[in-house]
């Protein structure tokens, strides 16, 4: 887990990750000039993660009209992302962060206590990166339901 904390206004950590969707891999540099919605979720094909993905899907045309690209990130494999994405017809890429490099860079790995079992897992978090590559918004411990609509309003306010 990273001890660094990401703050609004600072340059976003640069990344290059394997992706399922539009391209085999995606880097932040590839998306310069677009607003990037980078949302981290715990696990493919689980109830909250499915809800979040479906809500981003429903609003995807509006995100695109606002000049934004959505990227979902979890530590699942590309094969898992393919099944999840195809099952729910997600129009945006899912990044496979199997080595947790992206999760560590954005400090989203947290201790979780599930029925007395302590583990390290992805804290549902969203980062909005502006057209210049700077962090414009940080949402941590977000609730899946209604989250995409709230992020769309933030994106629409960016220059």
Q: Which residues pair with 48 in a beta bridge?
A: none
Q: What's the CA gap between 78 and 21, in Å, rounded?
A: 10
Pairing outcome for strands 68-74 and 35-40: parallel
**Residues acting as catalytic residues:** 49
- 80: tokens are 């898992």
Do 35 and 69 form a contact (C-beta atoms < 8 A)?
A: yes
């Amino acid at each position: 887990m990273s001890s660094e904390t990401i703050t609004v206004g600072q340059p976003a950590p640069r990344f290059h990750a394997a992706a399922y969707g539009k391209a085999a891999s995606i880097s932040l540099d590839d998306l310069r000039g677009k607003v990037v919605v980078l949302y981290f979720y715990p696990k493919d094909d689980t109830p909250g993660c499915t809800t979040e993905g479906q809500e981003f899907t429903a609003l995807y045309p509006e995100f695109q009209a606002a000049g934004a690209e959505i990227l979902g990130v979890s530590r699942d494999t590309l094969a898992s992302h393919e099944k999840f994405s195809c099952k729910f017809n997600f129009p945006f890429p899912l990044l496979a962060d199997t080595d947790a490099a992206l999760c560590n860079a954005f400090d989203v790995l947290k201790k979780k206590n599930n029925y007395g079992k302590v583990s390290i897992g992805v804290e549902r978090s969203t980062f909005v990166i502006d057209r210049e590559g700077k962090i414009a918004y940080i949402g941590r411990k977000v609730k899946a339901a209604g989250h995409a609509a709230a992020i769309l309003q933030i994106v629409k306010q960016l220059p």
